[in-house]
Each structure stands twice: as C-alpha cells, then as structure tokens.
Structure 1
Amino acid sequence: MTIERSNPAGLHPTPGYHHVTTVEASRLVFLAGQCPLAPDGALAEGGLAGQTAQVIDNILTALESAGARPADVVRTVIYVASPDRDELAAVWTQLNESSLAPAFTTASTLLGVAQLGFPGQLVEIDVTAAL
C-alpha cells in the first residue's frame, strides 16, 4: 500500500494536514462517524475536551479492530457542534496532541455544525483508512 500526501504549489499553507492524499491500496476501511459514547452507551463527561477524548479512544479501537493504525488514515471529517472558532481550534489541537495525531496529517476537514445526532453531543469524527 502506498499513501502520498502533498500540498501543491498555489494552495495555502495548512496547520498540519495535507491538501491532497493519493492512495494505492488493496483494502479500504470506512468507520462510521465515531461519537463520544462510552462502551456502556453513556455520553462522555467533561464537555468538549472529555467528548473529544472519548472519540479518540473509539477511533483507535475501531481502527485496531480492522488491523489499521492512525498512520493508515487517508481522510477525516471532524464535526464540532459549535460556531466558536476557538472551540474548533481546541478540538484540532487536542486531536493533534493525541495518539491519534498521525490520522490528521492527511486530507482533513473541520466543520462547525448546528447540532449532532445525540442530545448533548459536541463532536463526531468520520474516518477512512487504507490498507
């Protein structure tokens, strides 16, 4: 499997992700949007930071179950239920300081949205990996 990440000339600098990810893979892994739900189904406590930590744990568990690692991730979409750019930036920083950080060097999108699927849910992340 080959993953190439690049930032073509003529595009703006990024805060760590790459504009283009090109993959030659024999298998793709698509995770359902990972929510801040603990194994017992309870919404993670601790506000945005606590929920982001739970989502990180859930993604790591899901990737491992498919034989994938954070470095195998080729696309992420991060949804944060907030119009506040500082909160979006805080999630981006937490993700990039976590053990999941290699997943966010790839093609990534960070969105502030009006609401997510569960009452009180503040973050959800969609992940695609290539093996």
Structure 2
Amino acid sequence: MATLLKYCLLQIPGLLLFGLILYILVAWDWVSLQLAGILLLVWLIKDALLYPVYRPALEGGQSAGAHALVGLTGKVRTELDPQGLVEVAGERWQARKAGEQAIPAGARVRVIAAHGMVLTVRPVESDNADYSD
C-alpha cells in the first residue's frame, strides 16, 4: 500500500471526530458555518503539513525488535551449548549458536539471524568488533 494512502487512511478517524465536533458546535450555534469551514480547512492543511514528518514511520523496511540486531556484535553471558544468553546493544537476549562447537561465556559473537525473540549468533573472529561493554 502506498505511503500517502496509508497516511490518508490513518487521518480519517480524527477528521471524522473533528467534523462531528464542528457539526455539534454549528448545530448549537456556538460556531458559524463559515468558521467551521475554515477550521476544517485548517485541520486538513495541518494533516498535509505533517505528512513529511510521519512518512519515514509509514514506509516499510525498517527493522524492529530482534531483527534490528542482525549484524551487530555482542558478548556471551552464559555458555551457548546450544542455547544461552548474550548481550547485544546493552540488552540480554536468548541466543543459539550457529555452529557445532559450544561458545564460552565472555566470547564475542555476531548476530546472524533472529527467529522470534531468539538470536542466532556465531563467534567473531577478529578483534575489531564493534561491541564495547
């Protein structure tokens, strides 16, 4: 679905509520019909001006949760044989090893996949990993 269409659909409930409030205010003679029309136009202009702000959030492809950690490095907190705990980006996660050998506590690992809330990791070979305690 196109980003602009998503944004427009998300604006409908607020627009309907605002329209209902304006209708009631006009019906009770608290607001003139002309002022209600101007306020409705201002509401629509507000929505149009805010679209660039909301657009990045509506565009897909942004990783969230465990999938956002793929590619990062971390440190093993409890031995991975086959599962244990790792710390990545300051958070502790359940993880499983990618290879056959157990990975000892304290070893550096790189996240290669995420399945639900469990990370799959492999040992980092070089000393220039981007993890720091």
Instruction: Answer yes or no: same fold by TM over 0.5.
Output: no
**Structure possessing the higher radius of gyration over alpha carbons:** 2
Q: TM-score range by the shorter chain?
A: under 0.3
More helix by share: 2
Task: With the length of structure 1 as denominator, give the TM-score of the two structures.
Answer: 0.23
